[in-house]
Structure 1
Amino acid sequence: MSQPLPFVIDPTGADRHAEYRALRARGSATPVDVLGLRAWAVSDPALLKTMLTSPDVSKDGRAHYPDFQRTTGTWPLALWIEVRSMLTAYGADHRRLRRMVAPVFGARRIAKLKPIVESLVTGLIDDLAAVPAGQAVDLRERLAYPLPIAVIGHLMGVPEDQRHDFRQIVDRVFDSTLTPEEAQANAARLFERTDQLIATKRADPGDDMTSLLIAARDEESDGGGFTDDELRDTMILMINAGYETTVNVIDQAVFAMLTSPGQLDLVRTGQATWEDVVEETLRHEPAIKYLPLRFAVTDIKLPDGQVIPSGDPILAAYGAANHHPDWHGPDADTFDVTRKVKDHLAFGYGVHYCLGAPLARLEVAEALRQLFGRFPEMALAAPADSLRPVPTLISNGHQQFPVYLRPAG
């Protein structure tokens, strides 16, 4: 069967919703161009769930992508497939790596983090309260960014004087407008900073995730622990995933409340909860629109008769799947906190489901609760359609988010 010309995924993310509709119109899976790399975007939620749980689909490019070596030298998003961590592991390797990381995100440890998150949010809200009435403030810069940075910094043991540097590097990891040379230079800087953190924590361990991961690396004597690369890249995964994604969920949740006053009223009158807001935000505006990449282990026949050949890359189109009318009905594009079924793929699905999901939910719900509790008259300080998206095909937020916390006078 002849295949259509690939649909070009916009690296700037200028109009994600139009892109979601265009992908779905081309069928459950369709060829796409991702920064010059040809892949299959899967936008049908049922098919995507099947692929995310199938042994016929791998995240290990070294083992299952014939063009791996060429791609890592020329593709701007090469870091996403060349790191050695849970993100890119398959089968037994993935189970081994996840086994060592999972205890860090156990219910008991997350419960211990709750008062820390609450205190951090309170401090940030107190700082915002000092902004004069009628003066615009960038909420992304003053709340959405610093909260996840502080939480992941605490969890990982990143010294405060290093967190800003990590933030700048991580922002560029998600930037899909970089040249291959710029992306490679940023990756080298990320490896260098992470290696420095490992050396510091190995010399002076503490009660943090980095120290625990180092101990797991150093104490395993049966070959079942981390390699040096896996240790470094697992830390990179935790910092990236724990920071950037939560920033965007806070951003999009507040934006939804300020542009949907009827929805905010439902929360204020007790007809919905802040947890409902978090889940509907994750469905309607997932922090990760597309996740590169997976690979076909064998030929995969699609419901429409097309075949994804063995070795072909697969792009999980989470945003398009979350808006699919077969899953959420004809009003799937509508933000509705009272939606009875808010299921989504914002945290992935299957064996690669995000371990940090409970922590992210905790941070976003607490930020919303305190922010709207302290500033009930908060409003956008610019037209909603003037807010520009971050320049990336991966993550989903705004470059700036100006608001008035209190009206002038």
Structure 2
Amino acid sequence: MEFTLDPTGRDIHAEAALLRSRGRATRVRLPGGVTAWSVGGLADLKRLLGDPRLSKDPRRHWRAWRDGEVPDDWPLHLWVSVRNMFTAYGDEHRRLRALVSKAFTPRRVDDLRPWVRRITADLLDALAAGPDEVDLREAFAYPLPIEVVCRLFGVPDDLRPALRRAVDVIFDTTASPEDAVANQEQLYALLHGLVEAKRRDPGDDLADGLIAARDEDGSRLTEQELVDTLILVLAAGHETTVNLLDHAITALLTHPEQRRRVETGDVSWADVVEETLRWQAPVAHLPLRYAVEDVAVDGTVIARGDAVLAGYAAAGRDPEQHGPTAAEFDPGRADKTHLSFGFGAHYCLGAPLARLEAELALPALFARFPDLALAVPPADLAPLPSFISNGHATLPVRLRG
């Protein structure tokens, strides 16, 4: 019998432990009655993510999708229906990934360092000039990565609020079918409008580069692939980093002994970032992969055409990898192995940029506000309404203690 995932994401880690108790691969029910196999063991998941027998292309390899069993108003439809490198397989994936990968080379990312520092400093100045109590997710964790990705891809200021609302609904797994369909239509209208505006008045940002690739040679990129690639980079390009910053700040504010270790240099900010990624994977579950042929996990067969849900949050706290302290936040631990950016062919291109942003923003924040403290009890921090996005709805803090 399938286990029904809680769409509200109210206790992702308790649910992950329950799934683990059901076996290394267990059937789960997603919104809309769609079923998949959940795999959350780190070793098992890493093996599957690197296995070419698992695809991300539903059109070729998901039996339920091909057979018309997934309705058009399925709330998670956009996670599957987009045509970009996220849902491509084999040569198609390599073609689409190549068009974006040049934006995230180590040199390109490192060149962004002064830019990220400047954005961070501006945000800290704005915080210092405002009230003492503030929602730090709204005022810091969110605007930093969205400003970076929107500048990279030339998204104008007036488009950003509507884009943010659309991305929030994509990750909201409590959204109704009607809201999901309406949001998808609005998102496509926004991005088709952006593409047309850039065609009329081209610039030199990364979106312009994708548009040029499409217009110069249609065999490199179709119009839908162009728009769907923008959906991917603009949504995934900031959501992971927002949650990373949110959870790293929360971890240090709720673990004073670990905060002291960072302040004394006993552990580094890079240690904090990696441990946060392990301890609170910014994406708890990632839809979906599909078995190209039968694949076994500890004797359980995932049949050809079945869907697989990757349990990144569960993998980060896998006791088989991290022992009895797996659920504890300890940036000094020797083994911080996680899969929060994926593994294999679909490893997140934006991982170096997310790490750069966090490793610059976090020390700047805590240096500017050394008395930073939560403004509510930790138990009052409500999670996002999602089993995909792992973050807090708000992060109320007092800047000056």
Query: TM-score scaled to structure 2, two decimals?
Result: 0.97
Output one character per residue of 1:137-163: Cα deviation in whole Å (capped at 9) or x when no partner.
110110011111111110110011111
Q: Which AA in structure 2 matches 1:290?
A: H
* Aligned 1:185-224 pairs, distance under 5 A: 185-220=182-217, 223=219
| 1:82 partner letter | S
Task: Find the counterpart in structure 2 of residue 343 from structure 1.
Answer: 337
1:338-369 Cα offsets, whole Å, 9 max, x none, are 01121211101000000000111111121111
Q: How many residues align?
A: 398
Choose which of 324, 349, 358 in structure 1 pairs with 2:352. Answer: 358
> In structure 2, how many angstroms separate the alpha carbons of the residues matched to 1:339 and 1:72?
45
Q: Distance in 2 between matches of 1:53 and 1:369?
A: 34
- TM-score when scaled to structure 1? 0.95
Separation in structure 2 between the aligned mates of residue 72 and residue 291 of structure 1, nearest angstrom:
20
Distance 2:35 2:356 in 1: 37
Distance 2:138 2:109 in 1: 25
Answer whether contact 1:72 1:79 (CA < 8 A) is retained: no
The answer on 1:257 being equivalent to 2:252 is yes
Distance in structure 2 (CA, Å) of the matches to 1:212 and 1:167: 23
SS in 2 for 1:182: helix
Aligned ranges 1:299-338 → 2 under 5 Å:
299-303=294-298, 305-338=299-332
Kept after mapping to 1: 8 A contact 2:73/2:181: no
Query: Do structure 1's residue 16 and structure 2's residue 12 form an aligned pair?
Result: yes
Q: Which amino acid aligns with 2:104?
A: F
- In structure 2, the CA distance between the partners of 1:211 and 1:72, relative to structure 1 (3 Å rule), is farther
Gaps of 5+ in 1: none
Q: Which residue identity is paired with 2:124?
A: I
3-state SS, counterpart of residue 393 of structure 2: coil
- Distance in 2 (CA, whole Å) between partners of 1:66 and 1:24 is 26
Q: Secondary structure at the match of 1:73?
A: coil
Aligned amino acid, residue 71 of structure 1? V
Could you say which residue in structure 2 is the equivalent of 1:180? Answer: 177
2:315 and 2:146 map into 1 onto residues whose CA distance is 29
- Equivalent of residue 283 in structure 1, options 278, 282, 288: 278
Distance in 2, Cα, partners of 1:302 & 1:324: 16
The separation in 2 between residues aligned to 1:31 and 1:78, in whole angstroms, is 19
SS at match of 1:330: helix
Does the CA contact (< 8 Å) of 2:154 and 2:207 recur in 1?
yes
Letter in 2 for 1:24: R
1:255-275 CA distance string (max 9 Å, x none): 000000111111110111111
The 3-state SS of whatever aligns with 1:329 is helix
Aligned to 1:273: 268
Cα separation, 2, equivalents of 1:13 and 1:53? 27
Between the aligned partners of 1:207 and 1:362, the Cα distance in structure 2 is 23
- Is 2:388 the counterpart of 1:394? yes
3-state SS of paired residue (1:406): coil
Paired residue type of 1:337: P
Q: CA deviation at 1:70?
A: 3.3
Residues 14-64 of structure 1: CA deviation (Å, up to 9, x unaligned): 111111111111121101111121110001111111111112111100111
- Counterpart in the other structure of 1:113: 112
The runs of at least 4 consecutive aligned structure 1 residues that moved more than 6 Å come to: none
CA contact (8 A) 1:76 1:180 kept: yes
Alpha-carbon separation, structure 1, partners of 2:198 and 2:110? 24
Q: RMSD value over aligned CA atoms? A: 1.1
Aligned match for 2:229, one of 207, 224, 234: 234
The answer to whether the 8 A contact 2:73-2:180 is kept is no
- Name the residue aligned to 1:25: 21
Matched AA of 2:13: H
Report the CA distance between 1:72 and its aligned residue: 4.4
Does the 8 Å contact 1:289/1:394 carry over to 2?
yes
Residues 72 and 82 in structure 1, CA contact (< 8 A), matched pair in contact too: no
Deviation for aligned residue 1:319: 0.5
Look up the match of 2:363: 369
Paired residue type of 1:386:
D
2:53 and 2:127 map into 1 onto residues whose CA distance is 50
SS of 1:398's equivalent in the other structure is: coil
> Hey, what's the Cα distance between the residues in 1 that align with 2:109 and 2:321?
31
Cα distance in 2, alignment partners of residues 216 and 399 from structure 1: 38
Instruction: Output aligned runs, 1:47-196, within 5 Å.
Output: 47-68=44-65, 69-132=68-131, 135-196=132-193
CA distance in 2, matches of 1:290, 1:228: 29
The CA distance in 2 between the partners of 1:361 and 1:187, in whole Å, is 30
Distance (whole Å) between structure 2 residues aligned to residue 205 and residue 42 of structure 1: 44
Q: Counterpart of 1:140 in structure 2: which amino acid?
A: R
Q: Distance in 2 between matches of 1:258 and 1:191?
A: 39
Which secondary structure does the structure 1 equivalent of 2:289 belong to?
strand
**Matched letter for residue 230 of structure 1:** E
The letter for the 1-side match of 2:280 is: E
Q: Quick one: distance in 1 between partners of 2:208 and 2:255? A: 44
Q: 1:294 aligns with which of 286, 289, 293?
A: 289
| Corresponding letter in the other structure for 1:148 | P
Letter in 2 for 1:122: A
- How many percent of aligned residue pairs carry the same amino acid? 51
Partner amino acid, structure 2, of 1:7: F
Q: Is 1:243 aligned to 2:238, yes or no?
A: yes
Instruction: Write the deviation string for residues 221-245 of structure 1: whole angstroms up to 9, x where unpaired.
Output: 6x2x011111110110000011211
